Chain A
């Protein structure tokens, strides 16, 4: 058994937050120094600094050929971990041992210069990512073909559309050939078509070359398709490490964080909180609760919920008003309304939920995109076509086939 290509032991990264002001100027530093000196003489304690551990006691091992998805909420320490492994910043505690050439892609188009042409930027960006001139020259045609920018090769990049820019940048990065590839959330760019192409390329790199890949993404469907292993981080700690499916379901079920709101106009009925039950979601059950409050009691509180695709297209919605006689709530000045769907008929993707508050006749408040969630459908189709082709809705289709002409009634 060869040694793991990456072994991390007790890794920690501390940032110091100073609450008063950042010591970015010499004057600050001097006055702080003088103050600290006096505080030291008087035996006082420094009180304006706080340590923040972006990573704490992280240990794991990654073997050669592993394709690892790193998951966690914003601020969980994913990017810090990648920055340490790509040598951009050093850890405060612990150590990491890396065996092999690392290339990291923490951002698409690092070092692109707007004044230079596409051709020149391919060389510049390639060199920045660690490729040799000869290597870039060898792959030049492939890169250009992948990016689909042949016609604009000698145009300054500042005249590119943002889509072309991203395509070119990703194409350069995709042709890196390191032993260990570290990729931060970079696939969230470009149009659907290109995203698919990128994912395909990632898959290629991961599956067919025996390379080790570390991959951060919020796109759970992509993670599930590409990765075999997962590493779930939360508040700088490793929550789970192992099979990607287990990590994902653990992550998705964790916490049902509620968004709470402060009323902009307390004299009107308003929404106070929106929460989504994330553990129910892992079983395919959609359950959203909306808290509301009103200065006077509301005759017939009505809550509306609409699920949108991540591109903002409404997919399904309902509200108490349209239910008519079926919705007969008591008179209340505050409360929580819960809406549920037993089996959410959607494919695995990212969705958003908007909620509305009103009464029998008029609307009072709305929270657009109140919650975003990654849904992993209990129905897993390994060969699912892209959702922009078949749509997000997963209905209970009934199929049949006849050996001869269709039966006549």
Chain B
């Protein structure tokens, strides 16, 4: 039976639902289910299973340590070089996995988009969950390295979640842009791996920003610079020291990405089912 106070839903061209954010909240369970599905399926029918989450960063770490640490002799201050690299690699891998999952999320869920209604924002948001799980697994690797070098982080470690959030915000912001663009222009599927490759070298993963005497502000326009620096600050007992201005620039850039990403996504969302 229809209760007398059932809200009216009006469908019209160009009319965005007044209840969008309310709907998003109502569908939060679906968000959970989609994330759960992705996690559940991720390592199905693999022999090594969840170990894969460790292998990739471990190998990258070994390569970086050998090439930059040993051959090039990059300075790493008072901490062992591999530890410094891992503290940078962690947020970078989180970003790169979250970003590439989010970018491909709409197109890989075409069958849902064209057959069922729900706030589309759920799709890229839920795809980030897998990246977070992998991230938690790699944290174990970090703990192992800390024990190996008998390195104990100090009180700053409690701020780590803030930089995880900064990384995720950056990943979601860029991911929203790319996934909405990919629905219309499949070109962007090729752009994502390319961006990640370039980004790895443009972000301070293999070196510390203290090695850059000048251009620091300009460099901080890359929001991952702030995230990685922050990560190291938390894990490596305040090294490098955080510069509020540089961090501020990164935070603002990241927020800007998120808001423009949301704006573009919402603008394109109504047409997704027609062009996907």
Residues of A participating in the B interface, judged by any CB pair closer than 8 Å: 2, 5, 15, 24-27, 29, 64, 83-102, 104, 106-107, 110-111, 113, 115-116, 120, 123-124, 127-130, 132-133, 179, 210
Contacts and interface: CB of A to CB of B under 8 A. Distances in A.
Contact of B13 (A2, A85, A90): A90
B33 A97 contact: no
Interface string B101-137: 0000000000111111110000000000000000000
B30 interface: yes
A127 B29 contact: yes
Interface of B: 1-2, 6-15, 29-30, 33, 36-37, 40-41, 44-45, 111-118, 184-188, 270-271, 273-274
Contacts of A87: 9, 11, 117
Contacts of A96: 10-12
A106 B112 CA distance: 11
A179 B6 contact: yes
A172 to B, nearest CB: 13
A175 B106 CA distance: 28
A93 to B, nearest CB: 6
B116 A179 contact: no
B6 A124 contact: no
A83 B29 CA distance: 23
Contacts of A26: 185, 187-188
B116 A25 contact: no
Contacts of B6: 99-101, 179
Contact of A89 (B2, B8, B274): B274
A91 B29 CA distance: 28
What 3 A-B pairs are tightest by C-beta distance, nearest first? A87-B117, A127-B33, A95-B12
Contacts of B118: 128, 130
B26 to A, nearest CB: 9
A93 B111 contact: no
A99 B2 contact: yes
A132 B29 contact: yes
Contacts of A88: 113-117, 273
Given A115-B40, A129-B116, 12 more contacts: A64-B1, A88-B113, A89-B274, A90-B15, A95-B11, A107-B115, A110-B112, A113-B41, A115-B41, A124-B33, A128-B118, A179-B1
Contact of B115 (A90, A99, A106, A127): A106
Interface centre among B2, B6, B8, B13 (most CB of A within 10 A): B2
Contacts of B12: 90-91, 94-96
A99 B3 CA distance: 9
B8 A98 contact: yes
Contacts of A99: 2, 6-9
A5 B2 contact: yes
A127 B30 contact: yes
Contacts of A110: 111-112, 115-116
Contacts of B8: 97-99
A213 to B, nearest CB: 14
A2 B117 contact: no
A116 B37 CA distance: 8
Contacts of B113: 88
B41 A179 contact: no
A15 B271 CA distance: 11
Contacts of B274: 15, 89
A212 to B, nearest CB: 8
A120 B39 CA distance: 13
B185 A29 contact: yes
A26 B15 CA distance: 27
Given A89-B273, A110-B115, A116 B187 contact: no
Contacts of B37: 113, 116, 120, 124
Contacts of A111: 111-112, 116
Contacts of A90: 11-15, 270-271
21 contacts: A5-B2, A25-B185, A27-B187, A83-B273, A88-B115, A89-B271, A89-B273, A90-B13, A90-B15, A95-B10, A96-B10, A110-B115, A110-B116, A115-B44, A124-B33, A124-B36, A124-B37, A127-B29, A128-B33, A129-B116, A179-B1
Contact of A97 (B9, B36, B116, B185): B9
A110 B114 CA distance: 10
A210 B11 contact: no
A108 B14 CA distance: 30
Nearest to A101: B6
A89 B273 CA distance: 6
Contact of A91 (B7, B11, B188): B11
Nearest to A83: B273
B118 to A, nearest CB: 8
A113 B38 CA distance: 10
Contact of A104 (B1, B13, B29, B116): B116
A86 B270 CA distance: 13
